[in-house]
Amino acid sequence: MTNINYELIDTTAPAPEQEPERQRYFIAKCREIIKERELEIGRKLTFYDQTFGCQMNFKDSEKLNGILEDIGYVKADTEKADFVYYNTCTVRENANVRVYGRLGALKNYKKKNPEMVIAMCGCMMQEPEEQEKVKTTFKFVDVVFGTHNIFKLAELLYECLSGRKRVFDVWEKTDQIIEDLPSDRKFGFKAGVNIMFGCNNFCSYCIVPYVRGRERSRKPEDIVAEVKKLASEGVVEVMLLGQNVNSYGKNLENPISFAKLLTMVEEVEGIERIRFMTSHPKDLSDELIEVMAHSKKICKHLHLPVQSGSSRILKLMNRKYTKEHYLELVDKIRTAVPDIAITTDIIVGFPGETEEDFQETLDVVRKAKYDSAFTFIYSKRSGTPAAKMPDQVPDDVVHERFDRLLKVVNEAAKEQNGKLTGNTELVLVEEIDEKDDTMVTGRLSNNSVVHFKGDASLIGKIVPVVLEESKGFYYLGRLSVNG
């Protein structure tokens, strides 16, 4: 929520042209409609979001929720709400299937609740054929927008509510970055911060550049101002978000490196921990490694997607590094930051992948000693260059490789996890343990999870914990009394 007094906005005047003033005006207009509806039906109106995909989408949903709360909607905990939106992902085929699978239930809720407004947004809606499908097959969906105009939610909702009509507004691209709109953060003590939008890398399998547009960096001063504001609100950990944070700032009017941005964020008082996602190996600089090695706040965790261990496949993937270059990078990082946890993403079954190529991937997993890896089966995305490549790998071969990969990933992870047993480490307490309410769950700097005895008063605090036992993917510990 913001501190803006919407009552002071003259909603009888024409809409301002400038952003974010224009959206504030439409928030005020929507507030009037919602208030009237509340009086008529004798209860508050509610909203619910269903968010799929990556951190970018979750961050976008926080912004959308902030706008909805300023409009006067109250957050519900079920889809039986008055405004429901699906923020979609299209990175792999199964992401799309899941969305359409769930939409059916909404139709039934809407039949029972005439107030209900249903919206779809996010990456899937950037694809013309998906938009068309929603338009013609899912007629109960009222509002559709894309990734470039989430800031416009209030204006679109106003059009829908005032005209009682369906509203479709998807932009092909944008060069705008709208600052200073509301946001409803999920956690009080940690927050994601966008540092850039879009992607220019065009990895040959990936749809993200097509649905998120060209790379745009936010100005460092805007990012630092947001981080300062978050710190003043009690946030101790920030996660800097971008599809390829290592190329941050290159296209700004006054270019600046990601490493430099990190040093600026490091100076913000109150921020204790800094994380970032995602690092593309091709742009990871020595300057960044240097900054990580000397930083007191940057967490000892690097997510460094390798995608494949075969230099031949990496070339076809347009990743612009080789297996050797990647492993050298890993070595350099481990030497500079000894206790760092390295995690990765791997795709199995890219077109043309042979058993030999796959063996190279297994080799990288063993050599890089990942703490964990997200493993994906290659999914053909129409419009990407890889979709047209010959030798798509048969399903049974891919699945068999996938199972073998999982085994090797788990073996590597087992070796890494538990390395800190016996140490006393600082832990950011995140929540009450899901399985035992006399315990709390927190994270180490290296992103490992630890459970230990404690209560809700610890949530959001950074405390020393003795890591008593490793349980494979997590530790059991005890609050250190000596500090």
What is the C-alpha to C-alpha distance for residues 471 and 246, in angstroms, rounded to an integer?
34
CB of 282 to ligand SF4, least distance (A): 9
Answer yes or no whether residue 171 interacts with ligand SAH by CB under 6 A: no
Q: Which is nearer to ligand SAH, 188 or 394 (CB)?
A: 394
Residue 292 structure tokens: 């990580």
Residue 15 sits at the vertex; the CA angle it makes with 14 and 19, to the nearest 5 degrees, is 155
What is the C-alpha to C-alpha distance for residues 286 and 329, in angstroms, rounded to an integer?
9
Answer yes or no whether residue 246 interacts with ligand SAH by CB under 6 A: no
Please choose, from the candidates 247, 232, 241, 255, the residue with its C-alpha nearest in 3D space to the C-alpha of residue 281.
247
**Residue 30 annotated as part of some ligand binding site:** no
- Binding window for ligand F3S (CB under 6 A); candidates: 85-93, 137-145, 180-188, 416-424: 85-93
Q: Is the omega angle on the peptide bond into residue 390 within 30 degrees of 0, that is, cis?
A: no
The backbone torsions φ and ψ at residue 19, rounded to the nearest 5 degrees and listed phi first, read: -100, 150
**Which residues on neighbouring strands pair with residue 427, listed in sequence order?**
444, 463
What is the C-alpha to C-alpha distance for residues 312 and 305, in angstroms, rounded to an integer?
17
Are the CB atoms for 268 and 317 separated by under 8 Å?
no
Element (H, E) at 238: strand 237-241
What is the C-alpha to C-alpha distance for residues 369 and 72, in angstroms, rounded to an integer?
49
Answer yes or no whether residue 243 interacts with ligand SAH by CB under 6 A: yes
**Residue 299 annotated as part of some ligand binding site:** no
What spatial distance separates the first Cα and last Cα of the chain, rounded to whole Å? 36
CB of 89 to ligand SF4, least distance (A): 12
With CB cut-offs between 5 and 8 Å by kind, which of ligand SAH, ligand F3S, ligand SF4, none does residue 398 bind?
none
Question: DSSP label at 124?
Answer: G
Answer yes or no whether residue 212 interacts with ligand F3S by CB under 6 A: yes
Q: Which is nearer to ligand SF4, 208 or 298 (CB)?
A: 208
What is the C-alpha to C-alpha distance for residues 477 and 422, in angstroms, rounded to an integer?
9
User: Which one of 23, 34, 46, 53 is in contact with ligand F3S (CB under 6 A)?
Assistant: 53
Answer yes or no whether residue 337 interacts with ligand F3S by CB under 6 A: no
What is the C-alpha to C-alpha distance for residues 86 and 121, in angstroms, rounded to an integer?
6
- Binding window for ligand F3S (CB under 6 A); candidates: 18-26, 89-97, 427-435, 449-457: 89-97
- Binding window for ligand F3S (CB under 6 A); candidates: 188-196, 207-215, 352-360, 430-438: 207-215
With CB cut-offs between 5 and 8 Å by kind, which of ligand SF4, ligand SAH, ligand F3S, none does residue 209 bind?
ligand SF4
What is the C-alpha to C-alpha distance for residues 184 and 46, in angstroms, rounded to an integer?
15
CB of 279 to ligand SF4, least distance (A): 10
The backbone torsions φ and ψ at residue 453, rounded to the nearest 5 degrees and listed phi first, read: -60, 135
What is the C-alpha to C-alpha distance for residues 218 and 257, in angstroms, rounded to an integer?
12
Specify the residue for token string 């042209």.
17
Answer yes or no whether residue 208 interacts with ligand F3S by CB under 6 A: yes
Answer yes or no whether residue 402 interacts with ligand SAH by CB under 6 A: no
Strand, helix or coil at 41?
Answer: helix
CB of 85 to ligand SAH, least distance (A): 22
Answer yes or no whether residue 30 interacts with ligand SAH by CB under 6 A: no
What is the C-alpha to C-alpha distance for residues 93 and 347, in angstroms, rounded to an integer?
14
Answer yes or no whether residue 308 interacts with ligand F3S by CB under 6 A: no
Site residues, ligand SF4 (CB under 6 A)? 199, 201-203, 206, 208-209, 243-244, 280
With CB cut-offs between 5 and 8 Å by kind, which of ligand F3S, ligand SF4, ligand SAH, none does residue 202 bind?
ligand SF4
Question: DSSP label at 298?
Answer: B
Burial class (CB in 10 A: 0-12, 13-18, 19+), 184: middle
| Region 305-344 residues binding ligand SAH, contact defined as CB under 6 A | 305, 307
| Region 200-219 residues binding ligand SAH, contact defined as CB under 6 A | 205-206, 208
Answer yes or no whether residue 345 interacts with ligand SAH by CB under 6 A: yes
Answer yes or no whether residue 240 interacts with ligand F3S by CB under 6 A: no
State the number of CA atoms in the 13 A half-sphere of 459 facing the CB: 14
Answer yes or no whether residue 61 interacts with ligand SAH by CB under 6 A: no
In 401-461, at which residue ranges do the beta strands (DSSP E only) sit?
424-432, 439-444, 449-453
Q: Which is nearer to ligand SF4, 199 or 227 (CB)?
A: 199
| Region 91-150 residues binding ligand F3S, contact defined as CB under 6 A | 91, 123
CB of 95 to ligand F3S, least distance (A): 6
**Residue 89 annotated as part of some ligand binding site:** yes
With CB cut-offs between 5 and 8 Å by kind, which of ligand SF4, ligand F3S, ligand SAH, none does residue 381 bind?
ligand SAH
Burial class (CB in 10 A: 0-12, 13-18, 19+), 175: exposed
Binding-site positions for [4Fe-4S] cluster: 54, 89, 123, 199, 203, 206
Binding-site positions: 54, 89, 123, 199, 203, 206
Which residues contact ligand F3S (rule: CB under 6 A)? 53-54, 56-57, 89-91, 123, 208, 211-212
Which residues contact ligand SAH (rule: CB under 6 A)? 91-92, 205-206, 208, 243-244, 278, 280, 305, 307, 345, 347, 376, 378-379, 381
